Structure formats: C-alpha cells, structure tokens
Structure 1
Amino acid sequence: MRGEDQIPLKQPVLLVPGGLFVVNNTIALVNDFDAYAWVKLLRSGDGLDVPAGEEHDLVDRLLDMPALPRLNLPEELRLEEIVLEPKPILVVHPPAKSRWQHDRLKGEVLFDYDGSSVRGSSGQWALVQRSESRCLIRHRELEAEYWNQLQDAGFRRLVDQKRGQHDVEIVSRDLGPAVRALMAQDWQVRADGKRVRQPLDIQFQIRSGIDWFELHADIDFDGGRVTFPELLAALARGDGTIVLDDGSLGILPEEWLRRYGLLAGLGTAEEDHLRFSNVQVGLLDALLSAQPSVDYDARFDEMRQKVAGFSGVQTVNEGSAFHGELRAYQREGLGWLQFLEDFHFGGCLADDMGLGKTIQMLAFFNLRKKRRPKKLPSLVVVPKSLMFNWRQECERFTPDLSVLEYAGLDRAKLRDVLAKNDLVLTTYGTLRRDVVLLKEFEFDYVVLDEAQAIKNSGSQVAKAVRLLKARHRMALSGTPIENHLGDLCSIFEFLNPGMLGRSSTFRLHAADPTDKETRRILAEGLRPLILRRTKQSVASELPEKLEQTIHCEMGGEQEKLYNELRDHYRDSLLGMIDEQGLAKTKMHVLEALLRLRQAACHPALLHRGTAEESSAKLDALCPQLQELLDEGHKALVFSQFTSMLAIVKQHLDKQGIVYEYLDGQTRDRKERVERFQTDPQCGVFLISLKAGGLGLNLTAADYVFILDPWWNPAVETQAIDRAHRVGQTRPVFAYRLICKNTVEEKITELQQVKRELADAILEQDGSLLQNLTAEDLQQLLS
C-alpha cells in the first residue's frame, strides 16, 4: 500500500530479493525490508485459513513474532496501540562451574513495558496485553539510549553468531563499577534469578584486649548479609561484588573499595572480625573517623583521644647533665620522644636538615640513662660519612655517656664490651655484615639515622635492621616523608612491625597520587608518629646564621692515595729541610699541602681514578643536597678547585638535579644568577671561590656548603654572605666539609694557635711561611 492505494500480493509481476518489485510497468521498493520474506511466503499460497474463535490467538502470535513488520489488521481484530517508556533490566549469568570468579561474565538485556518484558536484542516490535485489549509499541529510541548506557558502563554487546542466550559480556573485575553505574541510572540488575542489592548500612564495633583491638561490623545489603571477613577478603581482591548469604549479589560501593580495602590490608582476619595491634590505633581511628555509626569501647576511646591529642605533649627539659641548652622546639621534641616511649610506639623524627635531630636524640639518651631497664645499651646506625660527627656530638653534649664505635677491621675484639656501653655507634655496612652477631644482643633503643637508607624493603640492610632486638625504635630523616608515603612502608615496618599490614596493600594505596582521600587518611593516622618541623616554622628560635663542620672519613683507594702522598712528602720535605733549610723549601711545602688538600677532595684532582667514582666528600655532600632539595630549599656549593666542581657536576647530572654553574670563565653571570634566583627547579649553584667571592646576591639559597675550607674568616664569610645578606628572610646554614686525619683537620688545629700561618698556607703566600717550623710541618704531615 502507498497512502490509500493497496496492491494485492499477487499483482506484482516480479519480486527481486532486497525489496524491489515490478507492477504496472513500474519498479517500486518495499520500505520494510523484513516484510519481503513474508510477501514471498504469502504469494506462494492462497492465504491463511483460521478456525473461528482462534483469530485473536493468531494475532497475538503474529505480534509476538520477531522481525514481523507492522500489521494492518481488520477493525474487529485491531488492538489499541500504546507507546510506553520501558524500564531496563540486566540479568547477569555466572558461569556454571567457576561461578563469579570467571574472567568474563555474560548477561541478558530485557526491557519491561508495564509488567511485560521483551528481550532487548529481539526484533519484536510490540507486546500484546490481551486482557487490556492493547498492544504496547516498543520505544526504540529510548532502548537505544539504554544500550549506550551499557556500553558506557563497560559492557560489550555480543554479535549475533556469539550471542546465544546472552546479549552482553564484561570482564568480571569490572562488574561492580559497571553495575553501580547502571543502578545509578535506574537499571534493575539481577543475578542467579535474584536482584542485585545495594548496601544500606554498616555499623562498626571495637572491642579491646590487652594489646590488641577487634573490629566487628554488621553489614546490611537490603536484607542480605555477609560476614565482615568475607567482605574484607572481597575488598582485598579488588572485587566490586560479593555473594550474600541468600545467594544474591551485593554491590560494593566504590568508596568502600578505597577505604575498607586499605582496612583489609592493615588488619588480620579472625573468624567474624578483624584484629589490630595497639600501635595501629591512630590508623584505625583515622579510617573510622568518617563513619556515622561506630561503637568504641572505653579503652579504645581513651587511647585514641590520647594519641589524637599528641600535639599537646608536654615539653621536657634536657637536664643539668646535658652540656648545652636546647631550643624550645627541641624540648618539644624530647616531650614527643617521651610520648612515643609511654605508648611503646616507634616514630620518625623528620625535622629539616640543620635543626638538631642528633642533639635531640642524644639529650633523650642522657635523660634515659638512669631509668633504662637492665642498663641495656642503645644502638645508633648511621652512614659511614656521619660516624665521626655522631662521636663528636656525643663528646660535646653528652660526655657522661659511654660510647663505643663498633666499626673497622678490628671490631671483633669489641664484641665482649659492646653491652657494657651506653651507646653503640655502627654503620649500615657493618650492620649488614655483622647482623648474625648483633641480632643476638638486646638493645634499649635502635635508632636509624638517615633512615631513608632502608626505604627499599627488599634490600639486605632493610632486612638486617628488622632482625635487631630492641625495646624501642626510632628513625631520623630530614626528607619530608609525608610527601613520599610509598617509601614509608619499609621504615615503619622496622619502627612498628605489622603496623602497615601487608606492604603490597599499603604501597598500592599510598602510591596512587589521585587517591587524595586515602592519602589523607594515611597521613592523619601516621601523624602522631612523625614529627617534622621546618626551618620556617621555628625561624623565630634560630639565629640568622648557623655554621657547622661535617667530618668526612676517607676509605678505600682515596685513603690509600692520601697516605702514600703524605708519607712521600713527609720523608722528602723533612729531609730537604735538614739539608737546605726551611726558607729554600717553602715552595715545595706549599705544593705538598696543595696536593694533599686535593687528595682529600677527590683522587681525580690528581689524575688518579675517574670523576665518576665517589669520594668521602661527595658521599657526604650529595645525600645532603638531595635531602634539602626534597625539603624545598636551595644551596650554594663553593670550592676553590674548579676541577672539583666539574666532578660535582657529573654526579648532579647522574642524579637528575638541576643546577647552575659559575667560575672565572663564565661570561653570562647575570643570567645564571637570575635563573638560580627565580627558577624553582634550579636548586643548586656551583661556584668557584674567585668567581663568587664578591658581588653576588643569592638569597634564594639558605644552605651553603664549603667543599674545601679556606680557614680564612674573611674569605669564608664572603662566600656564606652570598646567601646571608640583605633580602634574606630565612636563617642560613653553612657547612664546612673536612676530611678526618688529613691536612685539613691539622690546619684547623693549627689555626687555633697560629692564625697567620694558617692563612698563609691556604693563600699560598710564601712570604708569610717564615713562621713555619719543622715541628709545625711534622704536625701537618702526621
């Protein structure tokens, strides 16, 4: 038919597959291509004979048939046609054998029209409701939108040959988020013939023991139930769904995956609850703080309030036995250390570099000397480059503490007296080699200085420190570790074993920079155990300029080279002085002292070894630079040897540290200074003495390192004042790097009694060497 015109089925003289037909010398097209098969079928017969009384059944069956075109029915058989909006339904079918753990899950899509359902992939165009004498016309446009919603949620539509009883499929791990998305758009989802349920409520209860807490939970999925360990196990696997007690499927909210997934990794599942240790009170409280319904018992409530209020910890005075006076923030540090001890927590003191972490720890050891149980010694593990500095600080501030340096080739003889000392100092390398012995001792405290040395939990040294027996544990680190939560796992596994549960769970959550809520919870839970003060926060208590000497210890080839040079010059110079007199050998003396100073900086300055190799001063400098850069500071590095600065450049390049450089050959001085002052990525300025002694304003830096000290107060002051000058709003920390048992250390001693002579040596001014005696030279070369 066309408009009012109707053509009998037998009138066309030709029918062509595809819908073309010829009638009355005219070619026409069948608009409904699905009707072509019916036209061909009906032309082959003489119509359909329908018994009386069954005509309505025929119409119902025809309308229910898929791919049937619209029918033009007689008036007496015609039904009322109604267009309704369907409700979408997804029926998920688990595999018969492996149930919900199968890699892919398949589903069937239905559309519900006022109680009558039709398969989404069916070609059926209408649904008959005979009791209502009406025909429901499918809303194809809206159904198409629902198909798009399925695709957007992550379902893939199956093609005809793979469809079978299924319309869509999805990777099983994506089912939870996909179903959540569909249900948010008013889809009804069923599984195993039952509706998929959304959780209505979760109520927590905490019960306490002597040194543990139990977390119980009552979870309601709209009438369906699941035990707490089952829920946590599903979260730990990253599942988005869980099978409930009645066999229906529960949807796990995305927020639960984030928050309680971490909870599952931190605790230990036992029967119907999760168990935590006392040290996890802060983390547990942070994780539950946003929950509307938590029933705390009295002990947990008391403990969490004390831990949450740690910021109000009382300050502790250093006592009269301490040789020095602590600043106010350092006394607060003592109070925090006492707080940790009272709760048997391990903690990390993470003050900015230069704020006195070592001194605070020593003051605490001094206070604890009389009250520690069994008079157990404390063990401090340090990088080799810091061993001498710890010993020096002990002698200066806590001379009443007996200190043993457990290091070196002769340390075997120290084992019998190790436990008789108040404090034992050792290096990470020594600990790694002697851990079988040291793990047999019981220590009062084990303290790790520069604790980032164990951030790799799989390293030999990280495994070694975890074997040590200690009543209390502490870590010192200037790195702002709250910005590196992923690195905390190994450090806190040492400080509080088991506190962070399964390390893989912690690392997964902490390493995700987009999961700000979880990172906030972790930071809040760990906050009582990390004390960090920046220079800015305590600036009012600091002098404008602080100067300190870092003693470096040579080893290996560098020490061997230095000793060979020292012995050579001592023998040759003293013999020459005996024969010719000191006046005629002064240039040889200056050359010897210069070569020894270069050897103390780096063997490559004397063309021994390569610049890629390290040295005692590089071992001390590079970690310090990395630490202060992590803290957001900038540094100036001075040397009178441009060849030493060139070596430093190579090591900074290897570490990916952005720097500027200036020596006597530099022409664009202004541009380099401006870049250092204004570029936040440029954190280090390498400067030679002659190029940078005067005229530079480098107030962007608040740290200064002098690689080869000049012992001339005027020269050193000029260098330090590149940062400490008008416009500087922060305290400036200046460090001199001196190698132990070298001419550098000897000149430091000599300058105390012969300032003019020391200046002459460093300035290579031969005219002033007339005051040098053979005894002085003997001391310098000893």
Structure 2
Amino acid sequence: MSETFLAVNAVSLRAFLDAIPKAARTEGQKLLRGGGAEIVESDPNGKRFRIAIVAPASLSWVLSDDDKLGWTVDCGCPAVPRCAHAFAAAKTLLAEHSHATVQSLSSQTASGDAGTPAGLEGVVSTALGRALAKSERDFIREIVGMYRDSKGGLEVSTMELRRLGFKNSSFFDYKVRLAPFAIKTELEFWQCLAFKASQEKLAMPAFMRGVSDLTEVRRKHERWHAAAKTREWRTKLANLAQPPPIAQALGFTAVCFRIRLVSSGAWLEWRKGNAEDFEPIRRQELDAFIDAFARGAVTMSEASAHIWIPFLHHYQITKNWELLYGNTADLGLLGRLIRNPLLDSLLVNEAGLEIRRSSAPLVWRLVPPAAAEDDYELLLSSSVPGAAPVPPILRVFPGEPALYLTDRGLYEGPARASAELDVSKPNHIPRRALESGEGIAFLRKLGLPIPEHLTAAVQVVPVHIRIHCRLAPLFVGSQSENCLVTMTAHSDDHQVAEVWTGASWSPLVQSDWGPELSDEEDGGIRAYDRSLMDRAPQLMQELLAPFEFNQRAFVLRVKRGFAEMFFEWLESLPREIEVVLEGDLASLKAPTVSAKVRLEVSEVSLDWFDLRVVLDASDTRLTPAEMKLLLNSRGRFVRLEGKGWRRLSIDLSDEDNASLARLGLAEAGFSAEPQRLHVLQLAENSARRFLPETTVQALQVRAHEVKARVTPALPDGLQAALRPYQLEGYHFLAYLSENRFGGILADDMGLGKTLQTLAWLLWLRASANAKSGGVIKPTLVVCPKSVMENWRSEAVKFASGLRVRLWSQSEVERIAAHAGDADIHVINYTHLRTMHTTLTPIEWLAAILDEGQYIKNPDSQTAQAARSLRAEQRLVLTGTPIENRLLDLWSLMAFAMPGLLGSRAQFAKLYDAAGDSLARRRLSARVRPFLLRRTKSQVATDLPSRTEEELLCELEGEQKTLYRAELKRAQQMLLRIKTQKQLAQEHFHFLASLIRLRQICCSPRLVNPKSKEEGAKLEALLDQLEPLMQEGHKVLVFSQFVEMLELIRAEVKRREWHHFILTGATEERGDLVARFQAHEGAAIFLISLKAGGFGLNLTAASYVVLFDPWWNPAVENQAIDRTHRIGQVNNVIAYRLLIKGSVEEKMRVLQKQKSQLAEDVLGEERFAKSLSLEDLQFLFAET
C-alpha cells in the first residue's frame, strides 16, 4: 500500500490542510486524540481514501482528490470542506504519505540506487517533489556537515545548533547529546536532531517536515532507556544479593580499642565483636574499617571513640598507622591520648599489662657528694619520701606538666630542663661546676635549694630589663613612621648584657657594658637572677610586632589606634621593667588633660537653642583648636603638633552627671559641634550647675510662655466635656502642632486618648481652614482591625461633624481617588503594609498611629511603611510605648519625630548601654517635650477600684500524666545545654515545649483531641462563671489559644449561657462589641488575647478572667483595661487561673521579678528580656 500513499499529491494536500480555519483544526485534533484514525480503503492512483475514526463513535469519510475541484470530504457537514472531519482525514493521509516517503527514501539511500539523488539533500527534494531552493540546500548541507564532523552524530555543539536557527534553544551544555545509540545515516541524524528539537519545543523548518517522521527515532529512544533501566535495576538487585557487608564479614561491627606503648613507639590494638583478646590492626583491615566507619556500620564505646577519632584524623593526614616517638606528629598525638583520663584503663605495656597513672609526681633531687673529690648526683625520684626508685623512663611527653612513661606506669613530673640531662639515670655533675654562678642559677631554675654550705658564699645579682622605644620614618623623607622597640637585659656588675630577638637572648658587644669578672676575683659565687628574662617572650608577644634584624628591634607601624594599643601595652608591663620613651612617645606617659565643663546657649530660632560644651583645661598651653580636637576624640589620644599624644579627661562628679542626664546630655555625647535643644528641654533646675543663673531664669520664663502660648479653647463641634487631664492632653497636641512637632500620647488604657485626639483634629481642621481658605487635607488613622469601628462610633458620639470612612481590604486600593470624600480615613496595619505604595503619594493633614506599638520593630515592613507617609502632623497613640525594649520607643519616635533620637547606633550608645544608670534619665529628658503619659492612678482617681486575684488549680489524671511526660522531655533537652550560645541554637524547641506545657495546663484536649477530660482549669472556670451568670453579670474571658476558647464555648453553649466570641477571624467587630454592650442580663465574652486585648471598650463587663498567663504583664493589663476605663461604674475584679506548681505559676514569678526594673522613661519598663538559660532552668525545674 506504500506505493498508493507515495502517489498522493502532498503539495496540494498540505495547501488544503492549511486552508482549514483554526477552530476546525482544534476540533479535528480532538478527534485524532480521542480515538485515532486509520485509512481503511484506498485508490491505487492516490485519488480516493476512506478514513475511519474508532472513538468516541465509529465514523468514516471519503477524502477525494478531484482534478477540477481539488480535495473534498463527504462528511455532510455544513462547513465542508473546511470542517474538523476534513482536517482529521487530511492529517491522517498526510502522515501516511510522509511515512511511506521516508521508508522509500531510506531504502534507496541504503541501497545506493544510482537513479536517486544521493544523501539527505536528495531525500528532501524527492519528498517535496521539487528542486530545493538555495537556502534549503544550505540548511541541509549544514546538517550534513555537522553529521560528518561529529563522527557518528551522537553529539553536536550549541554553536552549531545556533547556526541552524535554534536560537531560543534551552540547551545550556556546550555539547548536546542527540541519541544514546549509533546514528548510521544523514537522514537518521536529522530525525534525531528533529526529535531533540521537539522535546525542547523548538520549531523546525516547514520544508523538512516531510522527512521528519519521528516514530522510529522515538521508538529507539524508548527501547534504549528501557534497557538502561533494566541494567540499572539488575545492578541494584545484584548488590542487594551480595554477601554481608565487609564490616560484618570481618567481625568488626562492634570494636574496642586500646594503645600498646613500647620502647620505640606505640600502636593501636582492637578487640572485634565478641572476641576475648585484643590483636594488632593490620594495614589492609584498617582501610576496610575506615570505610565501614564512614558508612556508620560500626559501633564503639565512648572511651574507644576518644582513641579512634584522633587517630583517624592523624592517619588521614600522615598515613602513619604505627606511632613512633621519633616522629614529632606521632609524638604529639600520643601525648594528647595519654593525657585523656578516660583512657587510663586502655593503655598497656609491651607485655599487655595495664599502665597505671601514679598519683605521686616525679621531682628532681640533688644528692651531695660523699667526699670532697666526688660529684653531685642529680636524678628524678618520687615526691613521696622513702618511695621505691623510679623504673627506667622510656619516653618523656612534653607539656605542662610533662608525662614520664615507664614500663609500669605514667608519672607527672617537671618540664624537661635540657636535653643534656638524662632522665633515666643519675646525672653526675662535677663539684666545681655546680658550685659556680651557672650552677647556682641552674638550681634556682629547677626550684632546688642551694646546698647549706654554699648559702653564705652565694651573691644573688639581679638582672634588669630595659625596653627602649623610639619613632623612625619608614624611609628618608617619609611622613609615615614606625615605632622601634628593643628589649635588653643587664646586670649591675655588667656581666650580663643581652638582647631579646624574638626567639632567644643574644649577647650584646661586651665593651658596651664593662670588663668580665670571674667568681674567684671577689671570692664569692655570683648567681644571676634571670626571672624577669624568663617573662620576655610573653611580654613581647603581646605587642604583636615582628623582630626585624636589619633594625635590631621589634617594628610596629604607627597608624590609627596605635596610641591606645601601645599605651595599653605599656601599662601592662611589670613595674620592675625600665621603659625609655623617646620623642613624642614620652607624651603617652604624661598626665591626661583635665578639664571642667561649662555650657553656652544661643537662640537660633523661636524656642530652639544651640547648646555648646565649653571646657576649661588644666593645660593652658593648648589652643582652642587643639581643645576642640581633644573634645571630639571623646577620651582617645590625639597627636598634637609639637606636643605629642594627649587625651582629655573631663572632671564630672556624680551630681554633675545626674544633672546632665536631666538635660538629656552625657559625657559620651560631648563634641565641639552644637546640639539643638528645645527650651522645654533646657528649662531644668539642674542646668544651674553649668549655666549662669540669669540664663536659667530666662529659659524657665520662656518655657512657661511656650506652655501658656498654646492653650486654645475647645473647638466648635466637640460634643463632650473634657476632664482636666484630657484638656491638658488636648493642649499638648495643639502645642505639638503649633511647633510642627510630632509626638506620642501615651496615656494609660481607658483614659480617653481617642476623645483627646478627636478634639485636636477638630481644632486642627479649623486652623487649617483659616490658613488655606477652605482647602483642607484629610487625616489618616491606622489602627488594629478590631479598633476601626471604635473610631467611627467615637466620632459619631463626640465629633459628628467629622466624616469618617472605614476602608475594607477590597476597597482600600481606591483610597487615593476618594481621599477628599472623608475627613478621617481609617485603615488597619495590614492595609498600611500591603498598600504603602498607594498611600505614600497622598498628602495628609495628620497621620495617626493608634496602638502604635505595632511599629515597635523598626525593621518591619509596617514600620517602614509608616515612616514613608507624607503628613503635616504625626501622632502616635499607645498605652505601652515600651513593651519589650527601649528600641520600641526609638521606632515610635522615628515615625513621630525623625532624627530626634539619632541613629539606632547612637541611640544604643547614649540611651541603651548596659550598666549606664543615667541612660533612661537622659532619654526621658530628650523626649519630654514630645511625649505625654499619664497613668490612671495619677489622673483618674474617680475610677472604681480594680482587684486582681489568682485562682490556683491542681493537675489530676491524664492531664497530670501528660504534663509530667512533657516536662521530663524538656528537662532532658535542657541537660544538653551548657551555654547561652547553645540555648540560642535550640531556642525554638524550648519555646515549643513551653507552649505544649501551657496548652496541657489549659486542657489536655489541646494536645490530645481524643481526650475525654475537661481539665482542672476548665472546671474551675465553669464553677466561677455559674454564680456570676445567675447574678446577671457580664464577664470577659481571655485566652491566647483560640482552640481553648472553642472548648469553653462548647461548655457555655451546653449550659445555655448567652455568649459572644471574638478572634482574629471575626468580622464586623464593632457591631459585635455594640451588641455585647447593649445586651440585657448576664453574658460571657470569649476573646482572643491577641485579637481583642486592646482597642475595645467593654465597660458593660465588671469581671475579667485571664484563662492562661502571658509573658508580658503589659498585655494582660491591656486586657483588663478593656473594662477598667472611663465609663466604668462598677468595681472591676480580674481572676487569673493558674495551675499550681506549673510553668504558669513560674511565669508569674518571672513577670514579677522582671517588672521590678528601675524607673525609666515612662515609669515601669515592661517585661522585656528574652528567656535566659537560668530562666528555663527555673521554669523546667521540679516543684
């Protein structure tokens, strides 16, 4: 049948196919994919074919090639011949034609038929039924050249692929592999190349499609990959069927090591598996064992591991598997091993007997001569009087102390004084040699007493050390300098004269010191005390300067920081050492320049002053410019022309420092540049210590005027009477606006910050209207989602003339287009973070951050977005401006008053330095004009009382079992932690364990949903709620675990108590709060601590239950303040439910301990410190 298909007019068939519309082509493709098509009838002349579709339904059509009409289909479609059926039929026939053509041409190529054009060029020409164009011939010749150059066509380069036009290829390798099998013809090479292109979704030239039947190539690839996978699995299966691992076969899945020490060295021995005896390790077994150890196929005891691991590291570097005393590296390893006390029982001698460590160290002993002509004997012996002689010493292991190895044991002993001394037998020293100056010095070095008969004759001569320092240019004419340091030793009798060269003492020229004397000349024995010389190496090592022989000195480059470093080294030298400093170096020992402080102020703009530090120096020779340099150096050395290195010391008493702190100043911040301060910061009585009395009085008068100057009347449109402290807050906000300041209103929760702000906004808009003539910018309020509705309700209640719009997540992107539609736009912090690019271009009259602690992390996206807002006035409202650390306040001020507290680094240095008792006082002074904080106890004396009570519960049953198990697990984790650094690495696991313990305290069902127990706290809560519900009270119940609230809710519903619930997922919070406030009778409000712990006004309740404690008491106080606030008429009672003896009770102890911090900027600094190792040990301890 292939001849029939070859007779088809492929050119006209392709034209027919290309004319079919896209929609019909798509449907035709679906027909082909659905069931496939085949040609069931054909005309030998290639003019008429019946094509059948098997699925989804049995269909068939006749495709005919009429000499006049061209190609037609008899499917009966209205769109025929441009229909899906026509596409499917033509596509099927064309594929058969192409396949037949390729088969025919392949056979012709293989047989070398002389009537057929040779090679790929002829194959393509025949398939097309026409001669090739020049560009087509060039393309094919490029392919043929690639085939020939590649010697088989398995790989081609990416450069060659680009020449073919495959420019968008994803082939990244330099060489691209086309096939894993041999390519035998040019045509097959092209088909492999076309197959690769199809895999990479690359288009091939249209004229090559007729010879691009990929069926056979694809089949070859599939067969090859299937065979490769079979080979791979046969290899895997063969490996799995192998005999036991070599470690098991050789018997060392479990081993024990020991060390055999002999006269020449040592080697490792092992005991494998259940063997009774140790045996030497053979080299070939050692390599196999190393491989098994690397794969984790062996086990060993801890003591054996202390032998094996160091030995393995040593072997991998040196390849020495026998350790010889003569090899320095081997000796070092042995020294480390035998010093390990865990290995005491694993050291044996040549006979295999254990080498025991002696408790009595060895000491040098001097035996005087028995007769005048005899020698002294010097030998090592036991420090125990009357002990047996020391066995022959095989080896000395250097160290401190040295270890002496004998055939029977190990002894600690003195460091080996010299290789000249024999440690294995007595050393015979001639009498005249020992009874000399050198002999006496030798005895002193060994710590041995001088023989009694020589005591009177010995004259101890001290050896002095002199360090000489001078400056020298790097080379002639250079402005850079070196410091040259020499260390020499000399005795008073000029017999010792040496210089330290960094490695040893070397003699100086004798004529420099005097004539040489002998002991006989003065009738005595001179012993030179060289103890100071022994300290030379360490002293000069600390200088970190190399010894240069051409300079005959230690050389140190003079650069930035040299003076401080060199002065510190000089101060560390013993007083017995003489130091000579030449030139400018001598100034390093001169007294510091002391100075007293005065302040000068000058007004630079309305209410703003430049403050300058003026110093009255003790050294009157210093010029003002030099004093400025010293002041700016902040206590560091400054090199002054002709006066050497000088540094400044400012005379300040404790009272002076305290007074400066109240002004917001510190010695660490002094500089010659002026500091800009507001009159309210300078009008302190403490300024009298540094400023003239008349200046202080003038500043205080001005400060009073500033406060009195901005006291506007309450604005029209305010529908509320302000309390005195609220009026003060309103005036404070007006004062900020008049001075174009930003600020923080930090009143306690419940004191009416929103009301004060609304009054200020009414006044601010009226002022803006008077200045601009009617064009007033809107105000942006950013607050938590739960507080948004509160702004609308408060505005309706107290300032109904203000138009307030609350923005939802789906609408907020349109805020810029509708900025003028409202006076106050209220968004939440999520909007601020996600829509900051939309908000930043808008110009606001005021930007207000309610619950501003949301930006306490200055690196957060929320804080960065807040700082990018464009507003004439910036205000932060918060009851807790410092929740965890002083940096919280820096972040808030970076929004409200950028630059006021300097950079973060400056802030940390001036206000947050550890151990600086005045830092918080300085910070308080610095922020005083821009921050107002009042507590309830200070201003709201008419509020009802607030009582807090702790209710302790006992764990029982399953809850107790779960708690004990989790606590035990945490204790085991904690045993592995020894340092704060280790704790930091495991911090997450401990926090997770703490959360689980707290969840168990709440209810066992939080960690085990299948538990049937309610838990002690849930029972106690229900017992507490029952009488309150009967008496008609409203109760707030807070928990940080939403799952716990759901468990409580189920019990409340079962008892048919009216209740409300608020979590992070709650929508329409304002409506929910309003319904609770308006509800008649008893009700319970279940609230997630994080979602509803702030910003809500719930004065209808007078009872609060904190179901589980939180680390930060400020958060708990905020929760209680939801009801203990202005508008509350009943006494408020708050209950804390705690499990006795658990982490909950200990959390309360930590809260109280950590809240006893000193008074700071705002009163009490909140619970701030991360849990330390000691804290965790306390929390996880048994009770």
Q: TM-score, normalised by structure 2?
A: 0.36
Deviation at 1:195, TM superposition (A): 0.8
Aligned to 1:365: 761
Bigger CA drift: 219-228 or 342-351?
219-228
Aligned to 1:200: 594
**Alignment map for 1:202-281 (pairs within 5 Å):** 203=597, 204-210=599-605, 213=610, 215=612, 217-218=614-615, 220=617, 222=619, 223-224=621-622, 230-231=629-630, 234-235=633-634, 240-246=636-642, 248-253=644-649, 273-277=672-676
Q: Secondary structure at the match of 1:500?
A: coil
C-alpha distance in 2, partners of 1:460/1:365?
Answer: 27
Amino acid at match of 2:1024: G
Deviation at 1:475, TM superposition (A): 1.0
Q: 1:96 to 1:180 in 2, by over 3 A?
A: same
Q: Secondary structure at the match of 1:400?
A: coil
Q: 1:491 to 1:30 in 2, by over 3 A?
A: same
C-alpha distance in 2, partners of 1:543/1:735?
Answer: 26
C-alpha distance in 2, partners of 1:194/1:394?
Answer: 74
Query: In the alignment, is the contact (CA less than 8 A) between 1:663 and 1:691 conserved in 2?
Result: no
Query: In the alignment, is the contact (CA less than 8 A) between 2:613 and 2:674 conserved in 1?
Result: no
Q: Does residue 560 of structure 2 align to residue 165 of structure 1?
A: no
C-alpha distance in 1, partners of 2:419/2:725?
Answer: 92
Q: Does residue 899 of structure 2 align to residue 498 of structure 1?
A: yes
Kindly provide the CA deviation profile for residues 420-448 of structure 1, in whole angstroms up to 9, marking residues without a partner as x: 64322222333344444433333332211
Q: 1:206 to 1:262 in 2, by over 3 A?
A: closer
Amino acid at match of 1:466: R
Q: Secondary structure at the match of 1:475?
A: strand
C-alpha distance in 2, partners of 1:397/1:322?
Answer: 6
Query: In the alignment, is the contact (CA less than 8 A) between 1:348 and 1:531 conserved in 2?
Result: yes
Amino acid at match of 1:491: L
Amino acid at match of 1:215: R
Amino acid at match of 1:274: E
C-alpha distance in 2, partners of 1:444/1:402?
Answer: 14
Bigger CA drift: 652-661 or 531-540?
652-661
C-alpha distance in 2, partners of 1:147/1:254?
Answer: 36
Structure 1, unaligned stretches of length 5 or more?
Answer: 1-11, 37-70, 74-80, 130-138, 547-649, 673-685, 697-701, 721-733, 763-782
Aligned to 1:692: 1024
Query: In the alignment, is the contact (CA less than 8 A) between 1:283 and 1:522 conserved in 2?
Result: no
Aligned to 1:458: 859
Kindly provide the CA deviation profile for residues 161-195 of structure 1, in whole angstroms up to 9, marking residues without a partner as x: 99963599999869649948988999998773441
Deviation at 1:479, TM superposition (A): 1.7
Deviation at 1:469, TM superposition (A): 2.5
**Alignment map for 1:76-87 (pairs within 5 Å):** none
Equivalent position to 1:402, from 798, 803, 813: 803
C-alpha distance in 1, partners of 2:733/2:821?
Answer: 24
C-alpha distance in 2, partners of 1:232/1:503?
Answer: 23
Amino acid at match of 2:602: R
Q: 1:661 to 1:760 in 2, by over 3 A?
A: closer
C-alpha distance in 2, partners of 1:484/1:246?
Answer: 48
Aligned to 2:104: none
Q: Secondary structure at the match of 1:516?
A: coil
Query: In the alignment, is the contact (CA less than 8 A) between 2:1036 and 2:1085 conserved in 1?
Result: no
Deviation at 1:348, TM superposition (A): 1.5
C-alpha distance in 2, partners of 1:264/1:232?
Answer: 10
Q: 1:434 to 1:662 in 2, by over 3 A?
A: closer
Query: In the alignment, is the contact (CA less than 8 A) between 2:468 and 2:580 conserved in 1?
Result: yes
**Alignment map for 1:570-585 (pairs within 5 Å):** none
Structure 2, unaligned stretches of length 5 or more?
Answer: 1-374, 377-417, 422-426, 443-456, 492-496, 515-527, 948-990, 1006-1011, 1029-1034, 1040-1044, 1087-1183
**Alignment map for 1:315-334 (pairs within 5 Å):** 321-334=717-730
C-alpha distance in 2, partners of 1:323/1:516?
Answer: 46
Q: Secondary structure at the match of 2:915?
A: coil
C-alpha distance in 2, partners of 1:514/1:331?
Answer: 39
C-alpha distance in 1, partners of 2:680/2:490?
Answer: 51
Amino acid at match of 2:435: L
Kindly provide the CA deviation profile for residues 676-721 of structure 1, in whole angstroms up to 9, marking residues without a partner as x: xxxxxxxxxx88852431589xxxxx996497999xx9x99x999x
C-alpha distance in 2, partners of 1:119/1:318?
Answer: 90
Count of residue pairs brought into register by the alignment: 540
Bigger CA drift: 325-334 or 172-181?
172-181
Kindly provide the CA deviation profile for residues 570-625 of structure 1, in whole angstroms up to 9, marking residues without a partner as x: xxxxxxxxxxxxxxxxxxxxxxxxxxxxxxxxxxxxxxxxxxxxxxxxxxxxxxxx
Amino acid at match of 1:323: Q
C-alpha distance in 2, partners of 1:100/1:703?
Answer: 77
Equivalent position to 2:827, from 420, 423, 426: 426
C-alpha distance in 2, partners of 1:425/1:94?
Answer: 71
Q: Does residue 931 of structure 2 align to residue 530 of structure 1?
A: yes
Q: 1:337 to 1:409 in 2, by over 3 A?
A: same
**Alignment map for 1:688-727 (pairs within 5 Å):** 690-693=1022-1025, 705=1038
Kindly provide the CA deviation profile for residues 220-251 of structure 1, in whole angstroms up to 9, marking residues without a partner as x: 4734455577557644xxx8322234352223
C-alpha distance in 2, partners of 1:746/1:128?
Answer: 100
Query: In the alignment, is the contact (CA less than 8 A) between 2:856 and 2:892 conserved in 1?
Result: yes
Aligned to 2:1002: 661
**Alignment map for 1:450-599 (pairs within 5 Å):** 450-481=851-882, 484-538=885-939, 540-544=941-945
How much is the aligned-residue C-alpha RMSD, in angstroms? 6.8
C-alpha distance in 1, partners of 2:887/2:479?
Answer: 32
Query: In the alignment, is the contact (CA less than 8 A) between 1:266 and 1:502 conserved in 2?
Result: no
C-alpha distance in 2, partners of 1:518/1:526?
Answer: 13
Query: In the alignment, is the contact (CA less than 8 A) between 1:265 and 1:505 conserved in 2?
Result: no
C-alpha distance in 2, partners of 1:761/1:526?
Answer: 39
Query: In the alignment, is the contact (CA less than 8 A) between 2:857 and 2:863 conserved in 1?
Result: yes
Q: Secondary structure at the match of 2:816?
A: helix
Query: In the alignment, is the contact (CA less than 8 A) between 1:282 and 1:526 conserved in 2?
Result: no
Residue identity over aligned pairs, in percent, reads 23
Kindly provide the CA deviation profile for residues 316-347 of structure 1, in whole angstroms up to 9, marking residues without a partner as x: 87567433343333333223323333433322
Aligned to 2:335: none
Aligned to 2:733: 337
Aligned to 1:48: none
Query: In the alignment, is the contact (CA less than 8 A) between 1:450 and 1:475 conserved in 2?
Result: yes
Deviation at 1:90, TM superposition (A): 9.0
Q: 1:94 to 1:208 in 2, by over 3 A?
A: farther
C-alpha distance in 2, partners of 1:128/1:392?
Answer: 99
Deviation at 1:506, TM superposition (A): 1.3
C-alpha distance in 1, partners of 2:944/2:721?
Answer: 14
